[in-house]
Structure formats: C-alpha cells, structure tokens
Amino acid sequence: MRWVLYAFGRPLPPAYREWVLDDVTSRTWVLRHFARTTVQLLVPAVLLYVLIPGPAWVRGCSVLAGLLLGCFYSAAYMYETTEHRAMRAGYPRGTAAARRGRAGEAERAEQARRYEQRWRTPPDPARRIVEP
C-alpha cells in the first residue's frame, strides 16, 4: 500500500530515503518509472471505460488513446519526475542525475571504445582499393 501511495506522489518516511534514491537511479529506473506511471493511469482509465457511455470499442479506443498520451508525457518528463522524487526524499537537486551518470560512464566508455575501433582506426595498408 505504501508503494501505491508513493507511485501517486506521496513522499515516503525518512527511513526509506536511500530506497527512493535507488529507485530513481538503479539500472532498471526506467522500468520502475513506467510501472509507477501505469499504476497512476490505470485508475482513471478504468473509471473512464466504465463511466463513458457508448459502444465498448469506442470506449476502449478512447481509453487506449488516453493511455498512450499519458505514457508519452511520462516519457517526456521522466528525468524531471525522478529528480523531483529524489528531492522530496531529501537529496539536493541533481543527485539522481549525477548518480545515473556515474552508473552509465562505463557503458559510454565501452561504446566510445567500440566506435573508435570501428571507425577511427587507420586503414590497413595491405588492403588497398584500386580504382579503375
């Protein structure tokens, strides 16, 4: 129940401060963000489907369009939302982004190394291309 309230924006007690930072910076933080978004969107989606008059397919398409729009906006503001959650847990602005950045440094370094190896290595002199 506490997680559902957290998903709707209620801050957790100070004892969960480190869990919140881990929640918004772990390797799966994007999936966690969309899990919270799904919980937030499910309640109005079900209510709208039940309360809107009309054929079931029209109600279903309308609710689906709303869910897609909600997920789009959630993705657009994903970084700001997670940063705000970390700030509400008592961390200074930029803590979540900095921690995510350190976690991704090794992956970015590996990508840069592969890029350099593939595209920036000098051509092999034994493999000359002769133009006609």
Q: How far apart are CA 108 and CA 101, in angstroms?
A: 10
Residue 128 within a domain = no
Residue 132 placed within a domain: no
Q: How many CB atoms lie within 10 A of CB 23?
A: 22
Q: What pLDDT does 41 receive?
A: 94
Question: Is 12 part of a structural domain of the chain?
Answer: yes
Structural domain includes residue 34: yes
Q: What is the mean pLDDT of each run of 10 residues along the chain (132 residues)?
A: 86 87 87 93 93 92 94 92 89 83 71 83 65 62
Question: Does residue 129 lie in a domain region?
Answer: no
Q: What share of the chain is helix, strand, coil (3-state, %, to 5)?
A: 75, 0, 25
Instruction: Give the range of the structural domain holding residue 82, as residue numbers without chain letter.
Output: 2-119
pTM of the prediction? 0.68
